[in-house]
Every structure is written in C-alpha cells, then in structure tokens.
Structure 1
C-alpha cells in the first residue's frame, strides 16, 4: 500500500482550510499539521470531506462517488501518466477516506444517527 514516496502534505485539508480566488489561485491555511506523508493523504482527506457532505445532506454516501471520481481524475491530470496515477491513487484512497470519516465522526457537533452512519460507512470502506 505504501508504494509511493512521502511528500509534504497539509495534514488537515478541510473546506475551511482552503481559500479559492480567481482562476487557479488557491491558498492553503492552518498549516500546523503539515508533515511528510503519502501523497494520497490529503487527497483522501478531500475525498472523505466530499463523502461527508453528501452523506450529511442527502443521507446517501453513494451520491458522492461521481464527484470523488471527477476530483481524482482531474487531480491525476497533473501527473505524466494520468491513467497510471489514477489507478495508483484509487487503490490507496479508501484507507485515507475511511480514516477521514472516523475523524469527522469524533467531532462533538456530530450526534446520534449521523455519527453511527459515518462509523458504519468508514467500517465498510476500511474492510
């Protein structure tokens, strides 16, 4: 699973830690968790945040899949071999996506039924 080189990652990529401007202008903030890790770490965190959004607003975790797939495909266009990068990343992404759902579930503002939904989805993904 850990076939890739470690790179510098943000470590806490959430929608509140990314500022978007005109064009390709993007700034990451809140960098105190920055570290060296698998390059898929942050990408998996973003995929988990997308899944969480759809679970929270539609109740259906599968609604997120086309958006996660599109995000990963577009991310991979920055690699020399897009198809190979996509295959490599999609093999490793479930681990980080599942961890992200567990991380979200531990928040005090996540309660009851939705917390159980997050935990169940994370368990399915991490099997």
Structure 2
C-alpha cells in the first residue's frame, strides 16, 4: 500500500511525545528524535511514524477520522474491538501486534509496523505467488483451527443481505439472489457444529511478507462464531478479480485458487468439503468488490456472484 510523506513532528508535539515517552520509549536510543509521518489511503486516517535515526516505525489508525463510506459509527468501540481482535489473533498467528490505544488522540490504535511486500504486490507481479498463497493458507488454517467456537449461520446470511442492500439492485436481480440464498439456507451444506475466528477482510493488501513470513493486518472487521471458508472465499474472489482486470481473464486464476485451497486443507475429504461450500463465500467476495466498481465491471461482478450461488443447484 503506497504512502506519502506529510509531516515531521518535533519534541513538544503532544502525539509525538506520547509515542516516544509512553508507547515505544524502551525502543528508542534518542528520546528527543524527530518523527517523520507518512500517510496511507485507507478507510480511516492511517499513518506510519518513522523515528529518525532509529530505524524504527509504528503504525497508527485513527478511528475517529473515517475517510470511507462508513461515517456513522462508534470510534471508541471500533478501536477497542480491533485491539482485542489483534490480541486474540496474535496468540495464534503473526500479526502487526497492538502496542497502545488512546481515546484522546481521535481514538488511535498504535501497532507494530511490519516492513515488507504485501500479497497484493505478489498478485500484481505474479512472482512467487504459489509460495505466498500457500503461506497465507497455512496461516489462515492456524487461525481457524485454534479459535474454535460455536457457529452462527444466521450471521453469515444476514451479512450477505446487508452487502446486497448496499448495491441497490433492481427488483428482478435482487429476487434472483434472494431465491438462491434461500436454497443455500435450507440445504445442509453450510450447517456445521463449530465456527471460529475469521479475519474477514482477507484482501491481498492485508497480508505482508517480512523475511519470508506472512503477517496479517487490520482486524477491525474480524468475526467470531464464523464459517472458516469465509476467509478463503474472500481471498479467492480477490484473486479472480485481479486476473480478470489485469491478467487476461479470471480463468487464469484457477490454478492458483486450486493450489491455495489444497494447501489450506488437511486432505482430500477436507478439500471436497471446502470446495463444496466455497461458491457461497466466493460470491460474497465478488459482491463486496462490486461495491467499489462502476459500470460494466460492476455488472460483471454481480453476474459472477450470482453464477457462484447457482452451484447449489448442482449439489
């Protein structure tokens, strides 16, 4: 994710002093160093604070400064929710660990800065993509296996309808989705005894590779009691989307998708189960993407999401 330089903070700046004197004091040799600020494009104000001469940075996300569509929400609740989610995930997998939070500074959450290339970079360059996707698959499996809980099937369907609501589809198209969702609901395919914690925002920019190891970022929208294949569906939809837009067709993503799913699974039986329910969650991933596109490509994503749901008729 690209960033741009926006400021340099000197000693005496309240936020710089809080970071240097309370959050990372033990990491600094020079407590009076200036701090360069780099801003990222995100759904909130997100900045990297680079301590000059220290070869060290932290990330800060300001929940009271939304920049995306969501404006009407509780920033303190959002800050604490992501803090708790990161703490939970950090006990299982590599994440950008939370360091501090502070309501006074526009509900800021400070985390480690993980240097490296994102999975999105490997998507864009199609370099070591099998290897990187395998590493993410193993990490997601660790997260899902070690956070088992009860399962809330209703929540999966409620969320699907909420995303559809954002698209403002015409009546005929919406009814087509509603009919297929009803078939999925009444089938036994999505029934299961156990759910787990899911990342939920399993997009390529939220996985960073540092010294060959994957790290997960941004757990604000993470869920509990969820279906594990949700994360796989979002990521495979993103992969198909990338190849459709920039690599000559979504069909070219299929070998990568197949390998990613196989690496996630524990064997053939597990693979058959995962691929059986994947169309439902891949469909969610596609309509999520449709929210940020316009025109013909938006229509393509909606059509593909609808086609995924039709897989229920082949079971």
TM-score category of the 2 structures, normalised to the smaller one: 0.7 to 0.9
Distance 1:122 1:112 in 2: 16
Residue 12 of structure 1 is matched in structure 2 by 201
Shift of 1:59: 5.2
- How high is the TM-score relative to the length of structure 2? 0.37
Q: 1:95 and 2:267 equivalent?
A: no
Secondary structure (helix, strand or coil) at the match of 2:196 reads strand
String of CA shifts for 1:33-61, please: whole Å, max 9, x gaps. 11120111101111111111111114522
Work out the CA distance in 1 between the residues paired with 2:302 and 2:243: 15
Which residue is equivalent to 1:54?
Answer: 243
**Structure 2 unaligned blocks of 5 or more:** 1-188, 311-315
Considering only aligned residues, what root-mean-square deviation do their CA atoms show, in Å? 1.3
Q: Distance in 2 between matches of 1:13 and 1:62?
A: 21
Q: Distance in 1 between matches of 2:308 and 2:250?
A: 11
Match of 2:218 among 17, 20, 30: 30
The TM-score normalised by the length of structure 1 is 0.87
Q: Which runs of 4+ in 1 moved over 3 A?
A: none
Query: Secondary structure at 2:220's aligned position in 1?
Result: coil
SS of 2:202 mapped into structure 1: coil
Say whether 1:84 aligns with 2:272.
no
**Would you say 1:121 and 2:310 are equivalent positions?**
no
**Aligned residues between the structures:** 120
Secondary structure of 2:254's aligned partner:
helix
Instruction: Tell me which residue corresponds to 1:72.
Output: 261
The aligned counterpart of 2:125 is: none
Taking the aligned partners of 1:50 and 1:102, their CA distance within structure 2 comes to 14
Give the stretch that moved more between structures: 113-122 or 88-97: 113-122
Report the alpha carbon displacement of residue 2 of structure 1 after superposing the two structures with TM: 2.3
Q: Which has the higher contact order (CA 8 A, sep 6+)?
A: 1
Query: 1:120 & 1:94 partners in 2: Cα distance?
Result: 13
Which structure's residues are more often helix, by fraction? 1
